[in-house]
Structure 1
Amino acid sequence: MSDAARQWRLVRAVARHDQMAELLPEFHQQALRVSGGRVSVIIRFNPRTQTLQGTSAAGLDELGPEPWLADTSGQAAAERTWAGGSPLFFQDLSDLPTRLGASGALLVPLLSGGDRIGLLIIGGEELDRGDAVDAEVAVVGDLLSVALERAKRQRDADLQQDLRELAAELARSVSSSLHLNASLEVFCDRASRLFTADHVSVWLHDRRARTLDLAASSNAAEVANRQRLGTDDTTVPVSRVLRGIRAEVVASMHHNAPDVLVPLKGRRRALGTLELRGVRIDAGDEIDLLDRLEEVGRQLSAAIENVWLLEDVLRSRRELESTFNSLADLVFVSDSRTLRVTHANQAVATRLGRRAADLIEHPLAEFFGPDLVNWVAQLGPGGGQIATGYESREFEDPVLKGTFLFTVSPLIGRDDERIGHVIVARDVTDHARLEAERVELRDRLTQSEKLAALGQFVAGIAHELNNPLQGVIGHVELLLQSTGPGTTRFKRDLKLVFREADRAAKIVHNLLVFAGSRRITRRRLNVNHVVTKVLALRATACAAARIDVTKVLAVKLPRIAGDALLLQQAVLNIVVNAEQALASVPEPRRLEIRTRTALHGIEIRIADNGTGISAEALPRLFEPFFTTKEVGQGTGLGLAIAYGIVQEHAGELHAANRPEGGAAFTIELPSESEAVE
């Protein structure tokens, strides 16, 4: 076969991506055929040591571990060859005559994009020379450079795949247990198989104790001994390498094969040492092996540091969550743009009867009433009132079912922008209820004192008016009886005087009732009978006004001690007031009266679907002579009299607006036993 055919076959072999083990003999043979040489050696450049190491040869019995072209002349020749980019012939260069057994040597540069791969050395006593030979040898060198670079890239890809698998296995182990030492045990076992080492160990640096502790090993017996080394003892290779930056091959004290030590470096400190004992290193593979192990060391260092950081974060998170969940107040954290919950404490979950995790990513509107949600929305991007402080408001929340003091603080991001809200809700329902009861009691006391003073005043006036009125009425009656038939107009005037005097007398009577001047005759009675009589009295009037009356009377209602006529008057006044309120609303007009057993007695509730009570009128509703009706349509005494009658029975009368519209009056009366007490 011609040299051209052999060259072409070599090109095709490189193009087919044949394995280097198969290609290297072809390269050696072709180099020797083209040049007429006797010895062919491939030496690789080691960037870590700046030396040339033999990796493959033809025509030699042994490559040897010593570097090639290590003296000044050899280094200069190598530099010239790389710089020129073409083969150069040297006679008696450095130690080549001794190592090659030939005085002449042709150095062929092996380059990849200007980067040094190594040299192809062809030795012989009578090498063929000439431009044609140099050109053919250069082609062999170029093809060899391509093959070596491709093999390096393949090894790098294989390394990355091995590292990914090793890192993935370590990550799976860490994520499943979150225990570093157990995960490192898995790593050591996998690495010992990957690098064909007798066993692999990981030593971790304890900065406080200034020691290296054996954290994991593929040899379980060593871990059981809990070995510890001082970091200051530089005679121990594991401690010495801790302070280095490159992997080292050292003679083993326990195995025929050498040990390899790799420093584990974090971002700011030494993490430990990776130790591989009894590593079998083939000739020429030391460079690639150390590169791979240094990459493994970087990956392992990152994993160890990440686990330590994760442990610190998890510990801090547990402490924070423990504190967060121990708060009695309800705490929400929400996104400022979407108003969705990003975090909630255990108090929230307990209040809502749900798991805290189930609240995440749900809108605030699911957990709060509209008042709070609208307020928080105003504090979001573009409309915030809060910069770095906080704001508090009190709301009656229909979702949380209570009165809460809400405090909203901004959640500030890394760039000092507001990224969310921290909402703290303190349940002040009991406090608000007690405060409302205190205000109500104060108002009722004020009202009672005012009405008592007014009652005394009214009683005095009523008594003074009652006597002359009775005299006027009596004399008018006598005049009506004594006048003859011819005085028709006079009688008509007298009847008008009588009616107006009688009306004034009734007003005085009502004033006396309001003032409590009438003596109450207490008897044991059932309020259901009182309600029934009132509705019977007003049945015709309600039917004429097209009012639907609903009566719901409780069975087995406790008896009370009271004056049936006065209670009937009180209920009647409230019913009449409701009828008048319903007259101004369209149909359907509804009036509902219910009785039921209460905590300390009985309760009568009279409700309508009228216009309700205005906020201005509600506080003055039971004041005498206060009315919202037109002049001449009411005296303003009906509800005041009802209030006085209920008070005389040791009860309470309340008025309120109904949520669905209309007003509701509630009479609370003590039962017979409560009244006696």
Structure 2
Amino acid sequence: MESRELDRLTKELALRKRLQDALFVFSKSLSARLTLQTALESLVLEVGSMFGVRRTSVWLHEREARVLVLIASSDPREQASEARIPTSESSTVARGLRVDAPEVTGEGDARCLVMSLRGWRRALGTVVIEGQTTKVDPELFVELAADLGRQLGATLERVLVLEDHLRDAAAQAQLRGRLAQSEKMASLGQFVAGMAHEMNNPLQGVLESLELMIRDTAPESKTRTELQRILAEAERAVLIVSNLLLFTRRHPATREVIALHDLVDQTMSLRESAPGRAQIAVVHNRGTGVPSVVGDRARLQRAFMNIIINAEQAIRDSGRPGEITVTSRAEPGTAVIDVADTGTGIAPDVLPRIFEPSFATREVGQGTDLGLTIAYGIVTEHGGTITVASSPRGAAFTIVLPAADDKVTSSGSLS
């Protein structure tokens, strides 16, 4: 009798130690910067093996969406389902969010234990253990499961609180970065505006003189050919000045209701005959319910065109055929345009400064590199944002603009 009791206590202590070891490995995995999902997947596999059950799963509570989301399961088929269960349901998983202690239902292989994962004054999720345990006494099984729920809930609370703090810190850093960028653009704009106006007047005089000289020169003469070449370069200089003035917003803006789909289509059609486009496929994915926006049609078209021109250049730089995918879609209160290319991507050291006019990403002779800066200024001027992500397979720009007010859209009036 004493021998059997000693064996039982030895097995119980071994199970308790194994559970504590599993939880320790879980915590250590998070400290080693593994994702929460990866660490939980390892934990549920160990718990399932420890208890000898059919399946163990962990569901996390998304409070705003009011759903429980499957984050880890010892069953790969269930893990692949990416299941979501409303908390209002009467299912076992949802009920587990509201129980105070482990609850056991069913018999045999249909036996199921469910328990709540609780943090400080909030429910974090649910643990579900399914199947008849083959390696532990039923009473001890419930006791150990309760220990698992308490300790896992405490660990998850620390992780989620840390993630909230990091998310807030990242948002504040992003806001400070955007503020610094705006201040930099404003001071730079004052300098550029003065320089552009000083350049514009003599350039107009040069253009007029060149046109007169060409008109008075014999059509087949070498002099006429050289004058035409000089005129083309002078016109390019005028275009640069025009971009500078647009960048500094010194031209009066107009305001109208603009259908985003139409604006994107018009912009893309303007680039169809551009040099080098033969090796570049362009796709426009037109989302449903994309709202109209309010703004200056010409400026917004310039912003979109500059993003597309940048994508074309990235594909040409790659030395292979490529594709530009433009996607227009709706998000709450906004209209969004994504422009993705299969070009060379953007180097990590360049990415944070991609919209700065003084930070060139083109080789000498390939342009002024003001295109992205101008696009940034125009989008910001319209109350929107423009962001970029990059990988070795290409870059993706996302433009977000405020949706036009419903009253404005229906009446067509901007008064």
Q: TM-score, normalised by structure 2?
A: 0.61
Q: Which amino acid aligns with 1:594?
A: T
| Aligned twin of 1:357 | 47
Which segments of 5 or more consecutive residues in structure 1 lack a partner in the other structure? 1-163, 176-305, 325-330, 341-346, 368-423
CA-atom RMSD, angstroms?
A: 4.1
Matched residues, number:
294
% identical aligned pairs:
38
The 8 Å contact of residues 622 and 643 in structure 1, kept in 2 or not, is answered as: yes
The answer to whether residue 350 in structure 2 is matched with residue 617 in structure 1 is: yes
Candidates 486, 499, 517, aligned match of 2:250: 517
Residue-by-residue CA offset, 1:26-80 (whole Å, 9 max, x unaligned)? xxxxxxxxxxxxxxxxxxxxxxxxxxxxxxxxxxxxxxxxxxxxxxxxxxxxxxx
- Measure, in 2, the Cα distance between the counterparts of 1:570 and 1:486: 39
After superposition, residues 477-496 of structure 1 pair within 5 angstroms as 477-481=211-215, 483=216, 485=218, 488-496=221-229
- 3-state DSSP class of the match of 2:375? helix
Candidates 656, 662, 669, aligned match of 2:401: 669
| Aligned twin of 1:459 | 193
The answer to whether residue 127 in structure 2 is matched with residue 436 in structure 1 is: no
- 3-state DSSP class of the match of 2:357? coil
Candidates 286, 293, 306, aligned match of 1:553: 286
Candidates 530, 543, 547, aligned match of 2:263: 530
Distance 1:509 1:649, change over 3 A: same
| Aligned twin of 1:333 | 24
- 3-state DSSP class of the match of 2:237? helix
Structure showing greater relative contact order (alpha-carbon pairs closer than 8 Å, 6 or more residues apart): 2
Distance 1:355 1:492, change over 3 A: closer
Q: Going by fraction, where is helix more abundant, 1 or 2?
A: 2
The 8 Å contact of residues 626 and 637 in structure 1, kept in 2 or not, is answered as: no
| Aligned twin of 1:30 | none
- Measure, in 1, the Cα distance between the counterparts of 2:326 and 2:212: 45
The 8 Å contact of residues 542 and 579 in structure 1, kept in 2 or not, is answered as: no
- 3-state DSSP class of the match of 1:561? strand
Deviation of residue 473 (structure 1)?
1.8
The 8 Å contact of residues 613 and 663 in structure 1, kept in 2 or not, is answered as: yes
After superposition, residues 111-510 of structure 1 pair within 5 angstroms as 171=5, 332-334=23-25, 357-358=47-48, 360=50, 426-427=159-160, 428-481=162-215, 483=216, 485=218, 488-510=221-243
Q: TM-score, normalised by structure 1?
A: 0.38
Distance 1:359 1:451, change over 3 A: farther
- Measure, in 2, the Cα distance between the counterparts of 1:625 and 1:537: 28
Q: Which amino acid aligns with 1:453?
A: S
Deviation of residue 614 (structure 1)?
0.4
Deviation of residue 359 (structure 1)?
7.0
Deviation of residue 524 (structure 1)?
0.5
| Aligned twin of 2:389 | 656
Which segments of 5 or more consecutive residues in structure 2 lack a partner in the other structure? 30-35, 57-71, 74-154, 409-413
Residue-by-residue CA offset, 1:81-121 (whole Å, 9 max, x unaligned)? xxxxxxxxxxxxxxxxxxxxxxxxxxxxxxxxxxxxxxxxx
Residue-by-residue CA offset, 1:557-584 (whole Å, 9 max, x unaligned)? 1111012221111111111111111123
The 8 Å contact of residues 545 and 583 in structure 1, kept in 2 or not, is answered as: no
Distance 1:466 1:360, change over 3 A: farther
Residue-by-residue CA offset, 1:245-296 (whole Å, 9 max, x unaligned)? xxxxxxxxxxxxxxxxxxxxxxxxxxxxxxxxxxxxxxxxxxxxxxxxxxxx
Larger radius of gyration: 1
| Aligned twin of 1:52 | none
The 8 Å contact of residues 214 and 227 in structure 2, kept in 1 or not, is answered as: yes
Residue-by-residue CA offset, 1:518-551 (whole Å, 9 max, x unaligned)? 2111111111111111222223448844223221
Distance 1:583 1:348, change over 3 A: closer
Q: Which amino acid aligns with 1:672?
A: A
Distance 1:504 1:360, change over 3 A: farther
- Measure, in 1, the Cα distance between the counterparts of 2:237 and 2:309: 20
The 8 Å contact of residues 473 and 502 in structure 1, kept in 2 or not, is answered as: yes
Residue-by-residue CA offset, 1:375-402 (whole Å, 9 max, x unaligned)? xxxxxxxxxxxxxxxxxxxxxxxxxxxx
Deviation of residue 466 (structure 1)?
1.1
- Measure, in 1, the Cα distance between the counterparts of 2:204 and 2:195: 14
